[in-house]
Structure 1
Amino acid sequence: MKANLDETIVVARSLADCFRYVKDFSTIEQWDPGVYRAEKITSGPVHAGTEFALQLNVAGARLSMTYQLCSFVENEQLVLEGEGRNLHAVDTIDFRDCGDGRTEIHYRAELRLKGVPQIASPAFMPVLRKVGSKAVGGLKTALTLPAAAPTTGFNAALKDRLVLPAALDFTERGYLAMPNKALSQFMDGKTVVITGPTSGLGLAAAKEFSRLGASLVLVGRGQARLGEARQEILAFSGAAENSVDLVEAELSLMAEVSRACDEILSRHKCIDVLVNNAGVLPLSRQVTAEGNELTLAVNLLAPVLLMHRLLPALKNASGRVINVASGGMYLSGVALGDMQFSKGAFDGTKAYARAKRALVSLTECYAEDWQQFGVDCHSMHPGWASTPGVAKSLPVFNKVLARKLRDARMGADTVVWLAASQELAGLSGGFWFDRQVHTTAVVPGTALSSGKSRALKRWVNNVLGLEGNEPLGLTR
């Protein structure tokens, strides 16, 4: 059975932006609700012959297709051909500059459903037209720049208070229900420093940053692992090799963190985004050579020290700090009398949650303190994502929820969105999940009062040797 789809939209976005976004056809997973996943399977820059692997959502089943970019005329036309077990498609997408920053996109698709007799066409055509209309409508939404930051709806706030409904959204279900998954605001000329970039959420976020045009500074352990991550990032984005800088550092040691900051500052006078993503969840108590409990050192002390040491470059760019936390922190407070977890039996999961809770609390402090410098501070959590770190540290959890967990790309979405979105400029201090601000405390006894937050800040400053050395106005 053959069918034709024909849709036209006009978007308040430049011709170059529209063409650039759609040319990498793997972005279709961000705007077509009928596509569960899309991946560019040809390495490097997109060119004629580049192939994309798609998984379609069809009546609850996942169907695979392979698309190829057959030809293109820059800023004018894309022609793609798709082949699957039950479907063959030829998509022609034309772009026209309408003036005043508006672009017309004309999307035509010639479809051939295999194994469906032509006599069934009257029944299938309305369904196909509806699917095509939703896809192109999604593209218009993806390319339309928001006028303002999103607000948290009543339903989201209610779910937070009820706990269980909110936790169910930590799975991929929550991500898939988001009304807009687009990452179409480009970051050309911006520099992003990201820790823990060699796997999981950090690598997924770094890939998207690179696709959006940002230059990257990857901070992590092992020169070989960093080099492998760089190659994977460049294969994904097609960016130039010199757009990814490598800084090797052991983030459990504050002397190493300081050395890494010196190295970064020597090469980058402006930092637009700092993403503190690196994390560790050891199951037994370990103490670093500097005398700090390992979980605390990596998940709290290192992020705070990076923020302070890189502040001059963040100030130069009116930058943003994004601290990656965990939904697990909802069940924990901060033990101010036992920050190093040296009393009683050690619990790795609890130590991790405490450190993340402390990081979120300090992020709120710095959001207030650093307004005078034009630096915005955010914290977020990624939901329940399937990553190598989760598989290693929480094997039972990973196995039980394997079919429901988010992939790293879904978990990293809010990190990239927080970094790239122009409408968030000047907004600071929020705790984000799936692009909405959420409450930080739903369990009694887990929230920190202002007095306890100040005590926490003094304790961390003392351990890091920051007290008395902070820029004017930072000590509270």
Structure 2
Amino acid sequence: MIRLHETVRVARSAADCYRYIADFSTCEQWDPGVYRALKTTPGAPIIGSAFAVTVHMFGRRVTLAYTITHLTPGRRIELRGEGAGVTTHEIITFAADDHGVTIIDYRADFELGATLRATRPLVAPLLRRMGRRAVAGLKDALEIKSVAPAQGWFSYAADHSLIAATPGFTERGYMAMDDKSHSEYIDDQVVVISGATRGIGLAIACEYARLGAHLVLIGRDGDRLDQAMQRIRDFAGSASTSIEGHVADLLDVGQTETVARRIAAAHPRIAVLVNNAGALFDAHALTDDGFERSVAIHLVAPFVLTESLMAPLSAARGRVINMSSGGMYLQALHLDDMNFEQETYSGTKAYARAKRGLVALTRHWARRYDETGVRFNAMHPGWVATAGVSDAMPGFEKVMKHLLRDPRMGADTAVWLGASTTAARCNGEFFLDRRPHPTAVLPNTAVKPSAAQALYAWLRNETGVAVHGVG
């Protein structure tokens, strides 16, 4: 038997610490030895809840099956893990002192199978090192950060060469992050998410639900909304009353404005709006409102939703998170041809131009609404393996499939921007992996404030949506 014992002190309540660890799938956020962790039984963690935890062990990835064997709420968690010739019994206890600090005590007993017993002198130091790193990572994950993020010089230089930056768009960029944790709870705060029925949007919704948010999802298909809500409840153990779905086709200005007004009437305070809905179209077509479809879904819909929800966002000093794409780096804003009618249509160009416009609009909103306390930021999720990417760019997906991120990696920054204390200090910035990045690196692609103002005026005039008063 190999025994581990580590103790750390964390400046959080015992209830918060217990809550975070009881859903043991969060270990992928704090244990550097874990690649992926999934709760394989639905609902809130209980005795018998099971988890599949893929770890880096013995120079390869192996999956261990964990089961919760005992829970004393707020005080004790026991788990049993099996796999790769190892059986483990782990006990985590929580004790609060008189100064708002929780002492987390971690103990583990590892039994090696017959094939590994001869390697005990080699395996024991490895397991102890993994245990020390995991507990140190847990302490870091639970402690709330107070320093706003900044981009390092190497990352800045890579961005401006563009090619050197692209490896960071892959899974490797996410795995290199120092902090992947989501441990700041936002219980009962209202989070509105568009495009949350699959892919990145669904992953965003799942994580916000785990943080205790009241979710308001917008999608165009009622059946898919129902399926997504059930997936979220299974993932986070959320009550059915904490998730609601609204059907609307965001290609339609009228439907978008109507659903936004309905949400605003029901929720006078909105903490977070995530404009995530998107699509890549292979042929040119205009919506009934006269917008090219990429412009309609990636630019017009976020404009209508955001302006229509500004009153409840302002009341909560909320946050708006706009999903962009690295493709925008290759395109400029074309104010004289917003609907892509003056040149041969390219779906990828139209997509990138609309995303360029959305990032410019984000900065304009940040300036326009600064005094309201609402914070606006845009983000790039990296290169993510989703059904949308597979359908729209099968060649890219085939070549890059082993390097692409999974949806939870792409969702990470959107959740951090809406829930973390440090992100509340950020306004008008563009993020990848929780770090600000420049919005333009190629000549003639930067959008001047005057052009962003003109874009805002164009959207206001073309949609006819009443904008929120300022001052």
Alignment TM class, shorter chain as reference: over 0.9
Cα offsets for 1:384-408 (capped at 9, x unmatched)? 0001111111111111100100000
Q: Distance in 1 between matches of 2:284 and 2:119?
A: 66
Q: Distance in 1 between matches of 2:425 and 2:31?
A: 31
Q: Classify the secondary structure of the residue corresponding to 1:398.
A: helix
Q: Relative to 1, partners in 2 of residues 1:180 and 1:289: Cα closer, same or farther, differing over 3 Å?
A: same
Question: Given that residues 51 and 66 in structure 1 are in contact (C-alpha distance below 8 angstroms), is that contact kept between their aligned partners in structure 2?
Answer: yes
Question: Given that residues 205 and 412 in structure 1 are in contact (C-alpha distance below 8 angstroms), is that contact kept between their aligned partners in structure 2?
Answer: yes
Corresponding position of 1:35: 34
Deviation, structure 1 residue 118: 4.4
Question: Given that residues 85 and 116 in structure 2 are in contact (C-alpha distance below 8 angstroms), is that contact kept between their aligned partners in structure 1?
Answer: no
User: Given the alignment of the two structures, is residue 336 of structure 1 paired with residue 340 of structure 2, yes or no?
Assistant: no
Structure 2 gap ranges (5+) = none
Q: Classify the secondary structure of the residue corresponding to 2:70.
A: strand
Q: Distance in 2 between matches of 1:303 and 1:74?
A: 41
Q: Distance in 2 between matches of 1:459 and 1:233?
A: 37
Corresponding position of 2:89: 90
User: Given the alignment of the two structures, is residue 472 of structure 1 paired with residue 469 of structure 2, yes or no?
Assistant: yes
5 Å-filtered alignment, 1:115-126, equals 115-116=114-115, 118=117, 120-126=119-125
Corresponding position of 1:148: 147
Question: Given that residues 460 and 467 in structure 2 are in contact (C-alpha distance below 8 angstroms), is that contact kept between their aligned partners in structure 1?
Answer: no
5 Å-filtered alignment, 1:88-167, equals 88-116=87-115, 118=117, 120-167=119-166
TM-score (normalised: structure 2): 0.98
Task: Decide which moves more: 81-90 or 429-438.
Answer: 81-90
Task: Decide which moves more: 149-158 or 333-342.
Answer: 149-158
Q: Relative to 1, partners in 2 of residues 1:117 and 1:386: Cα closer, same or farther, differing over 3 Å?
A: closer
> Which stretches of structure 1, 4 residues or longer, exceed 6 Å deviation after superposition?
none
Deviation, structure 1 residue 117: 5.4
Q: Relative to 1, partners in 2 of residues 1:344 and 1:9: Cα closer, same or farther, differing over 3 Å?
A: same
Corresponding position of 1:247: 246
Task: Decide which moves more: 349-358 or 54-63.
Answer: 54-63
Q: Classify the secondary structure of the residue corresponding to 1:93.
A: strand
Q: Distance in 2 between matches of 1:470 and 1:218?
A: 23
5 Å-filtered alignment, 1:283-362, equals 283-362=282-361
Question: Which amino acid counterpart does residue 323 of structure 2 have in structure 1?
Answer: V
Cα offsets for 1:201-228 (capped at 9, x unmatched)? 0000000000000000000111111010
User: Given the alignment of the two structures, is residue 71 of structure 1 paired with residue 70 of structure 2, yes or no?
Assistant: yes
Cα offsets for 1:428-470 (capped at 9, x unmatched)? 111011000000011111111222222222212211124xx43
Q: Distance in 1 between matches of 2:308 and 2:411?
A: 25
Q: Classify the secondary structure of the residue corresponding to 1:428.
A: coil
Task: Decide which moves more: 144-153 or 270-279.
Answer: 144-153
5 Å-filtered alignment, 1:185-204, equals 185-204=184-203
Count of matched residue positions in the alignment of Structure 1 and Structure 2: 471
Corresponding position of 2:461: 462
Corresponding position of 1:256: 255
Question: Given that residues 416 and 423 in structure 2 are in contact (C-alpha distance below 8 angstroms), is that contact kept between their aligned partners in structure 1?
Answer: no
Corresponding position of 2:277: 278
Question: Which amino acid counterpart does residue 247 of structure 1 have in structure 2?
Answer: H
Question: Which amino acid counterpart does residue 334 of structure 1 have in structure 2?
Answer: L
Q: Distance in 2 between matches of 1:412 and 1:119?
A: 43
Question: Given that residues 77 and 94 in structure 1 are in contact (C-alpha distance below 8 angstroms), is that contact kept between their aligned partners in structure 2?
Answer: yes
Question: Given that residues 211 and 239 in structure 1 are in contact (C-alpha distance below 8 angstroms), is that contact kept between their aligned partners in structure 2?
Answer: yes
Q: Classify the secondary structure of the residue corresponding to 1:36.
A: strand
5 Å-filtered alignment, 1:2-41, equals 2-41=1-40
Deviation, structure 1 residue 124: 2.6
Deviation, structure 1 residue 426: 4.1
Q: Distance in 2 between matches of 1:317 and 1:60?
A: 48
Q: Distance in 2 between matches of 1:352 and 1:179?
A: 31
Question: Which amino acid counterpart does residue 461 of structure 2 have in structure 1?
Answer: N
Deviation, structure 1 residue 292: 1.3
Deviation, structure 1 residue 427: 2.5
Q: Classify the secondary structure of the residue corresponding to 1:455.
A: helix
Question: Which amino acid counterpart does residue 21 of structure 2 have in structure 1?
Answer: V
Question: Given that residues 188 and 213 in structure 1 are in contact (C-alpha distance below 8 angstroms), is that contact kept between their aligned partners in structure 2?
Answer: yes
RMSD after superposition: 1.2
Question: Given that residues 8 and 139 in structure 2 are in contact (C-alpha distance below 8 angstroms), is that contact kept between their aligned partners in structure 1?
Answer: yes
Q: Distance in 1 between matches of 2:136 and 2:246?
A: 42
Question: Given that residues 215 and 243 in structure 1 are in contact (C-alpha distance below 8 angstroms), is that contact kept between their aligned partners in structure 2?
Answer: yes
Q: Relative to 1, partners in 2 of residues 1:392 and 1:118: Cα closer, same or farther, differing over 3 Å?
A: closer
Structure 1 gap ranges (5+) = none
Q: Distance in 1 between matches of 2:149 and 2:115?
A: 44
Cα offsets for 1:357-383 (capped at 9, x unmatched)? 000001000001111111100100100
Question: Which amino acid counterpart does residue 66 of structure 1 have in structure 2?
Answer: A
Q: Distance in 2 between matches of 1:118 and 1:456?
A: 67
Q: Distance in 1 between matches of 2:114 and 2:178?
A: 33
